[in-house]
Amino acid sequence: DVSAVNLGDVKAKEYYDTKNISANNNVVINHGLGSKKLILSLWLDDEEVTSSFDIEKTSDNSVTIYNGSIDNLIGIEVCIMKLSV
């Protein structure tokens, strides 16, 4: 295969950040990826916890993560990849 991959193109399709989410609250993630066609995963202490949250794709450039628990969550890793379809 002689096709080169531009690292800038790969980075433009990914978003990563660490967030704190208060009990019974939400956080808006402004990822700037320009699409609602995303794969999103949330991690806490090396455990994938995405299914524990309600997630709303609020626009092409942001998602809202809802913490319905009574716990303040510190250090939630947010990983988002844009699908190229």
Q: Looking at residue 84, what is its pLDDT?
A: 78
- pLDDT for residue 25: 97
Structure tokens at 2: 């002689």
- Interatomic CA distance for residues 17 and 29, integer angstroms: 9
On whether the pTM is more than 0.75, the answer is yes
Per-residue pLDDT in tens (0 to 9) along the chain, 85 residues: 556 555 555 556 999 999 999 999 999 999 999 999 999 999 999 999 999 999 999 999 999 999 999 999 999 999 999 987 6
Cα 2 to Cα 84: distance, rounded to the nearest angstrom? 21
Going from the C-alpha of 25 to that of each of 8, 20, 21, 41, the distances in angstroms are 34, 10, 7, 18
DSSP 8-state secondary structure symbol assigned to residue 85? -
Which pLDDT does position 82 carry in this prediction? Answer: 94
